[in-house]
């Protein structure tokens, strides 16, 4: 996490800079890895202001506090930022359908080149694929992006494994399991 500390109308001190960096670094556990934090410490008359802006994973979280002491302003702003980051993390976790249901599957490619094995087939290649929970629309976008002939995924609505495949006529087909 990259943390920059800026001073406005205030003398720059290493103790204050290190204190701000140490406090802001507590938030690492709530945000994604590529994160940037900008801390602006300013002084207007007797008002010590600490403003923190955190950018990570396409979101921006701001916190601003004003007190009579710069250290307490930093503490209060970091506490506010930490609450917002926790709230955002929980919100994302609650809205991810079936995040714990990701799994792996194997598929076999069969060959029927010889006449006597035409009915049985034989396995010539086995491959493991990662099964990710997603909606059917997401799977259609993924199959187009990957330029693949098929895609195995867990349907986010039904929580069942589905197969999306490209037909010879260029359209897409969907195989959904059905309980009998």
pLDDT of residue 27: 85
pTM of model > 0.85? no
pLDDT number for residue 12: 86
pLDDT at position 66: 92
Largest CA distance in the chain: 93
Strand order in the sheet with 172-175: 133-134, 150-155, 161-166, 172-175
Could you list the pLDDT tens digit for every one of the 180 residues in the chain? 788 999 998 888 899 999 999 998 888 877 766 788 899 999 988 899 999 998 887 778 888 999 999 999 999 999 998 888 888 777 777 665 554 455 555 555 544 454 445 555 666 777 777 777 888 888 888 877 777 788 888 888 888 888 888 888 888 888 888 776
In DSSP notation, the chain reads: -EEEEEEESS---HHHHHHHHHHHGGGGGGS-SSEEEEEEEEEETTEEEEEEEEEETTEEEEEEEEESSHHHHHHHHHHHHHHHHHHHHHHHHHHSTTGGG-EEEEEEEEE--SSTTTTT-EEEEEEEEEE-EE-HHHHHHHHHHHT-SEEEEEETTT-SEEEEEE-TTS-EEEE-----
- The reported pLDDT for the residue numbered 139 is 84
Residue 115 confidence (pLDDT): 47
* Ordered domains of the chain (ranges, CATH): 2-95 (3.30.160.100), 99-175 (3.30.505.50)
Report CA-CA distances (Å) from 78 to 19, 30, 66, 126: 11, 13, 12, 51
Q: How far apart are CA 73 and CA 50, in angstroms?
A: 5
Q: How many residues are given for the chain?
A: 180
């Amino acid at each position: 996490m990259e943390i920059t500390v800026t001073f406005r109308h205030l003398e720059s001190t290493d103790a204050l800079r290190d204190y701000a960096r140490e406090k802001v670094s507590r938030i690492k556990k709530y945000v994604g890895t590529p994160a940037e934090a900008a801390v602006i410490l300013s002084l207007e008359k007797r008002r010590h202001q600490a403003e923190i802006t955190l950018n990570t994973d396409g979101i921006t979280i701001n916190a601003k506090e004003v007190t009579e002491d710069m250290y307490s302003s930093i503490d209060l702003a970091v506490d506010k930022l930490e609450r917002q980051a926790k709230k955002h993390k929980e919100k994302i976790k609650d809205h991810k359908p079936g995040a714990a249901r990701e799994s792996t599957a194997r598929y076999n490619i069969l060959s029927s080149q010889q006449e006597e094995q035409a009915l049985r087939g034989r396995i010539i290649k086995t491959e493991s694929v990662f099964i990710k929970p997603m909606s059917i629309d997401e799977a259609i976008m993924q199959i187009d992006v990957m330029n693949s002939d098929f895609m195995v995924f867990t349907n986010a609505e039904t929580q069942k494994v589905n197969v999306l495949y490209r037909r010879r006529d260029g359209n897409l087909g969907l195989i959904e399991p059905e309980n009998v």
